[in-house]
Structure formats: structure tokens, C-alpha cells
Structure 1
Amino acid sequence: MTTHRADTDSFNAGSAAQGAFATYLVGGAVRDALLGIEGSDRDWVVVGATPEAMLGNGFTPVGKDFPVFLHPRTKEEYALARTERKSGTGYKGFTVYATPDVTLEEDLQRRDLTINAIAQDTDGNLIDPWGGVRDLQNRVLRHVSAAFAEDPLRVLRVARFAARFADQGFTIADETRALMHTMSSSGELKDLVAERVWREFDKALQENQAQVFITVLHECGALATLLPEVDRLFGVPQPEQWHPEIDTGIHTLMSLQQACRLSNDLAVRFAALMHDVGKGLTSAEDWPQHIAHEHKGVQLIADVCQRLRVPTDCADLARLSSQYHTHCHQMQVLKPATVLKTLEGLDAFRRPQRLQKFLQVCEADARGRTGLEAQAYPQANLLWQCFVAADEIDVPTLLAHKPVPPGPEAGEKIRNMLHQARLGRIKDTLTRLRAAP
């Protein structure tokens, strides 16, 4: 393991007057170094210091809820050793104690997982009072202490770490799973602020195995509170002819997994997660058919995005993917007018990059089915080629061939000419490509 040393020069001036204190590298930097992962941000904990001592040594305060300081040269974060006591509900319902007598072991005890509760001193020695090294070796995610249950956000964090380290074979300890289920049933997840919830979703959806995050939340009961629109999809059947996996929830997980393989874009992955939420509104007597689920999902997605403060680009792509994904699947038989309507609905002529992302969502949906994960998806290229052909239409060229007299109706006439010209190009493209072997 690489030895990390603190830049301690800034402690020299006035340290005798201020009193001795020690610094330790903690958290993700230690964990990732033990796993052979490079590039993690370095965070430090300071034992035996006061805020006045930190200021006297040139550190800049940045913490609002507890004492955190930036090093005067490296700008790395140094937090005073602290303990926390539950004093309310939700993420911020804590009273923080950060006095010089707080020990390193006490500071590490308040952390979420044992693998995140390992410290390293300035000589490279590990301090591991809670068995984090052992759990790293055994590939286990285990909570440090009963204090884990005091912070409901940790349910999401464990699910996120499960996704991050899924490729390395990590699993969640049985006792931690049981505690997460108890916490999810307590109702405290409802007290989490939307921005914090979305931040965890944002980070988790960018992991290679993002579907593990959703799976863990579903299994412990948290998804029913945080994202019920997706949670209710589990157990909802689809026609086996088109969906060999049958279960809509399983299909959603598979689609998200495929989206992770196709794209690193957060909006694509979020849209893949949300594309079929309309099926959760289908009456049981209508199963396994899901008529108009595309349009039913649009309002559900709008509600989710408002509730979780989802960024606009993610919200827009998710909504449009729900509305139009079956159009893309049907490109081999879709009428030219419907193809153009789809492109216009996606605002593809002004936002071609959005169309590219939409096509990735549709491909992820098509491949998110048992036994069809590697299936070709020519529909994406067919819709793209229709767009390219229609987008080549140039308004000045149109007007050169058929001028439009100025007047109050000129704008509408030009729009109609453009529409018809694009439609003609799409017809020609479909005829040519559909006839190709």
C-alpha cells in the first residue's frame, strides 16, 4: 500500500503554543489504496486540535455542520475528529461534538462501513479498530456500529457502494441488509431532502453496475419510498413473446445494465431506468398487455423529476424516451409521417445530440431482455438515417426554387414547405433502406 504523508509544515508554526495534535488519512483514499485503485481524493482527520488551532496554522474553515478546514497549500480537507448523536430526524438531525478529547477510534466508529473506517498515520501505519481490512479482503460491505441506523441516507450509500464494487465481488453482510430493511420500514427515508437523494442516484447511476444500486434499494424496501414508480414495476408481467424475462422490474434492471454498457451519459441511464414506468399503472385485469403505457409514463416521470429535483436534461430525455421509444422499435413499419412526427417531437433538428441519446435508450430497452442482450438493433440506424436525410433540407434552397411572397402567412407557408420536403426525404430513405438486404 502507498504511504500517504500529510503536509505538516503548516503545523510547525505555533504548534507548541496551540498544543500537539495528529493527522490521519481516512476514508476512501485508504480503502481504495488497499484495493489498488488510484486517484481517490484524500481526506484527513485531525485528533487533539481545536478550531482556533487550525486557524492559527493557516487553515481555512469550510464546514457548516461540523469543523472542516482546507489546508493552506494542498487545499485538501482536514476535519476535526468528531462524534455525532442523533437529535432529530433525517440527514441533518445530529448534534456534533468535535472537541480535542475525541479519539480517532471514536471518530472512525461514527462512519458508515468498516471499509470506510480505516485510518493511516503519517508513517503509513494502518489503524483499523473495526475490521475494515478483513472485510476488504473478504469483499464484504458491513456497517460499523448500531449508529449506522441513525442516518437514513446510509441506506442509499451502501446501495451505491454495492454498485461501485460489484465488479470486485463485494456483497452486503446479512446483518447490514437486515438493518437497512429495518431503516427503510421506519419511515425516516421520507425525511431525506430531495437534493441529497438525487445526489446519491446521480453518483450510483454513473457506476458500471448501476442496476445493482436499484436492486439493493428494492430488496431492502427503500425503493418503495424513494422511487415507487419504479418499485411497483416488480411483479408486473409483460407478454412473454416480446419479453422472455416477463417481469417488468427485471426488464428495467436489464435495460439499465445495457444502458451502462452503451453510454456513460447520466441522462441515458436515467431514461433507461424510467422508460417503462407507465406499465406500473396498468390494471391487473389487463395484464400482460400495457396499452398506452408510453403516454401514461410521461406524467409519472414529470412527477419524479419535480420531486427529486432531477436536472432538466435528464428529465427531458426520460420523458421523451417514455413517449417515443416504441416508435423507434417499430421503425421497420412506421409510416413516414409518424417518423417525422417523432423527430419533431424529439426536437431532433435543433438537438441532434438528444436524438443520439434517445437511440441509445431505445437500444438499451431492446437489449434489456433475456436472451436478446447481444441482438442487433437496426431500428436506431434507420431512424438516424431518416433524420440525416431530412436535416439536409435547406430553407434558402427551398425558397430559391419556390419563392414565398412576404406577408403575414409567409412563415406558415415556409414551415409547410419545409415539412413536406422533409417528409419526402424520409419516404425516399425508408423505401431505400427497407428494401436493402
Structure 2
Amino acid sequence: MQIFKVGGAVRDRLLGKPVTDIDWVVVGATTEEMLAQGYRPVGADFPVFLHPKSGAEYALARTERKSGRGYGGFTFHASPEVTLEEDLIRRDLTINAMAEDDQQNLTDPYHGQRDLEARVLRHVSPAFAEDPLRVLRVARFAARYADLGFTVAPETLDLMRQLSESGELEALTAERSWKEISRALMEDQPQVFIQVLRDCGALKVLMPEVDALFGVPQPEIHHPEIDSGIHTLSVLEQSARHKQPLTVRWACLLHDLGKGLTPEDEWPRHIAHEHKGLKLIKVVNERFKAPKDCQELALLVGQYHTHGHRALELKASTLLELLQSFDVYRRPQRFEEFIAACEMDARGRKGLEERSYPQADYLRGAASVARGVAVQPLLEKGFKGPELGEALKRERLKALKAYKENA
């Protein structure tokens, strides 16, 4: 029995990055031998065991072959005869197909260390094209390591393109896709993830609504970058630069989908794109079964982001309607995330990345004023039920008018 550290832990150590998750592979062992040493079995599809003391996962070396469509369409074979090299060759990228023993002696049959030094994301073998999830994984690694100068090897991009055209991407479950998408959006350069998906044709398959934004012009006076797709990438880039949470990043990706529906003869204007985009945002939300908080914020940002930009010009009544739509009284954090998404939208424009956004403090102040209207005096006056709601609305409107005059 031999035990090796494999995959990401080896890769990140060689890159000088913090090692968080460690994967272990056991070569030359049987299930019975693992059980005899106190390991506890947990694997459903192939033999995985928990270490008796640390609880870490140890997998028996295995081979796999394609047996059906999608991410789950594989048959696995684990036995003491499977070599370390055979286990490593089934992995996605060369930089993930290295192993080391407890003395840090490196086993690198597919030249992962060379590709690490060359800053290249390269597939290990033609079997790469058997797993559609790898298209998303490679794009995610491209986003993770973009700061280090990593790019996708042309021949790997070709295989990703073949996968995108094969129909295999449609076999991915919403849950698997969302797991990769959400992780990629939280990388330091999430816009690279979207760009790589577009480069290999996968964006058109997975998110045609986002892909449709590329090549669609916007008024240059507001958008020096002109192209709606480029703008979306820039907004996503800003959301990562400003360390926004997943909810905000998801909303940033989807906020302008309505512009992809504008007839060409109306370009570069996009009248009512906020409203038109809502049905597309709903479709994308449902396609990936995005978490409820991500879905809700994406829809609200899509509908109201231009209100955010025009905050200082809004009538007090419109401002109140905006605050009511977000339920700022019970859910203040959601409104704060809306403000953040609006600010990222304003900054995601060529040459305007450092612009100030006074609308943010103005909107926060308005929410604070509306929340500050006390209910007790109205109760003491005898208001109750629907009448109390209307009276509260009138008092909040009055407070917002005073706020607007003094701002």
C-alpha cells in the first residue's frame, strides 16, 4: 500500500499558494485492507474512505471509462493493480495530475510542473472531452489563475469547443453547473470565466442570454466601452475587485439581459430594457436553480438599477416605491446589496472605474429616514389594519420629501 497527495494540494504548493483541501490516493490496496486498518467507507460510486483519526478522505486508485452522457456517465474500476499513473491520467489538467509522497517526491508523468512554469492550462489526455463539466472547470481555473498569467492551451480550447458543440453540456445537471458557476464567480477574475466560456462556444449553450449581449452597442456618452457584453464583463470585474458577495456578482452578470432583446433598428438605445430583461433573468435563475437570495437580488437589480443611477433625481414618491419594493424595513441587507450592484454597474465602464457614486450614500440615507418613521404615534392616534399602513406610508413620504429638500 502506498499513499500519495494528489491534485490541487500539489499544484498549489508548487505555486506557493496556501493549501486548503488535500486529496489522497491509495495505490496497491484493497477495500478489505483499508477496512482492516480502521478506515470507514463513504464512497457511493467508487471506493472512498475516511481516515480513522483525521477524518480526511482517501480514495483507492481507479480508472474510468465513458458509459453514458454528462458528468455522471462513467464506470469506475478500482483495484490494487491500478497504478498511480493510470489514476492521474483520468484527471482534467496536467497541473492537477501530479502526486507526491510523504517526502514531497514528485510524480509528474504528464508534465504538470512544466505547464505550471509556462502558465498553461492543458488537458492531460483526449479523455478530457468525455466530461462536459471540464469545460466549466477549466474556465474556472482560468479565472482563478488569471492574475498569474495562466491561459488555456489552444488544443485544450479546441476540445472545449468540441464539447460545446456536441450537445454534452445540456446533459449537465443544474446543481453541478451552479456549483462551478458560483465558485467561478467568487474567483478574483470572474470575467475571465465568462470570456473563456464564450471563446469555446459554451456561453452560447449555457447562457445564451448573456452571450447575446456581445456585439450589441450602447450610447457612447454613458458607455465608453460601447459593447454591452464588454460592459457586463467589466461590471463583473469591478464586483470582484470590490469583494462583493455572490448575490451581487450574480446580479451584476444578469443586470442588462434586456439589452439583448433590443431590435437593431433601435440601437444604441435600449428603452425599457430593465423590464424586458426580467423574463430572461427568471429563465437563467431557474435553469441553474440559483439560491433564492441570488434569484431575488438579480431580479430586483435588473428591474431597478437605472433607478439607482437616477436616485438623486427621483421624486419622493418614486423613492418610497423603490424602498417598499426592497422591503428595507425588514430586509436592509438586500437593499445594501442592490446599492453595491448599482455602484459596480456605474464603475464597469471604460475609463470610469474610479468614479465616485454619490447615489450610494443618498440611497442609504433615504432608507434610514424611511425606517426612522415611528409606528407608535400612529397607533396612539387609533390607526390600525390597512389604515395604519396608509398612514405609515404618508408619514414616510413626508419624511422623504424633507430629506430630498435638505440633501
- Give the TM-score band, short-chain normalised: over 0.9
| Rounded Cα–Cα distance in structure 2 between residues aligned with 1:213 and 1:65 | 29
Displaced runs of 4+ in structure 1, greater than 6 A?
none
| Rounded Cα–Cα distance in structure 2 between residues aligned with 1:163 and 1:62 | 32
- The aligned length equals 407
Normalising by structure 1, report the TM-score. Answer: 0.92
Partner secondary structure for residue 350 of structure 1: coil
| Rounded Cα–Cα distance in structure 1 between residues aligned with 2:216 and 2:148 | 31
| Rounded Cα–Cα distance in structure 2 between residues aligned with 1:178 and 1:355 | 43
1:205 to 171, 181, 185: 185
Partner of 1:278: 258
2:50 to 61, 70, 73: 70
Partner of 1:17: none
| Rounded Cα–Cα distance in structure 2 between residues aligned with 1:263 and 1:128 | 35
- Describe the superposition over 1:53-105 as per-residue Cα deviations: whole angstroms up to 9, x where unpaired: 21121111111111111111111111111111111111011111111111100
Partner secondary structure for residue 332 of structure 1: helix
- Describe the superposition over 1:29-54 as per-residue Cα deviations: whole angstroms up to 9, x where unpaired: 11111111123211110111111221
Normalising by structure 2, report the TM-score. Answer: 0.98
Partner of 2:239: 259
- What's the CA shift for 1:397? 2.4
Partner of 1:22: 2
Uncovered stretches (5+) of structure 2, i.e. residues with no partner: none
Partner of 1:166: 146
Partner of 1:10: none
| Rounded Cα–Cα distance in structure 2 between residues aligned with 1:315 and 1:339 | 23
Partner of 1:287: 267
Is 1:371 the counterpart of 2:325? The answer is no
Is 1:130 the counterpart of 2:110? The answer is yes
- Describe the superposition over 1:325-376 as per-residue Cα deviations: whole angstroms up to 9, x where unpaired: 1001111211110011011111112100001000000000001101111100
TM-align CA RMSD: 1.0
The equivalences for 1:5-404 within 5 A come to 21-400=1-380, 402-404=381-383
- The alignment-based identity, stated in percent, is 59
| Rounded Cα–Cα distance in structure 1 between residues aligned with 2:361 and 2:103 | 58
Partner of 2:391: 417
* Counterpart code for 2:403: T
Cα pair 1:263 1:269 within 8 Å, conserved: no
* Counterpart code for 1:170: F
- What's the CA shift for 1:144? 0.5
| Rounded Cα–Cα distance in structure 1 between residues aligned with 2:51 and 2:166 | 40
Cα pair 1:181 1:222 within 8 Å, conserved: yes
- What's the CA shift for 1:287? 1.2
- What's the CA shift for 1:262? 2.2
Cα pair 1:349 1:391 within 8 Å, conserved: yes
Look at both structures and tell me which one has the larger radius of gyration over its CA atoms. Answer: 1
- What's the CA shift for 1:156? 0.3
Cα pair 1:142 1:173 within 8 Å, conserved: yes
| Rounded Cα–Cα distance in structure 1 between residues aligned with 2:244 and 2:56 | 28
| Rounded Cα–Cα distance in structure 1 between residues aligned with 2:394 and 2:184 | 45
1:428 to 379, 402, 405: 402
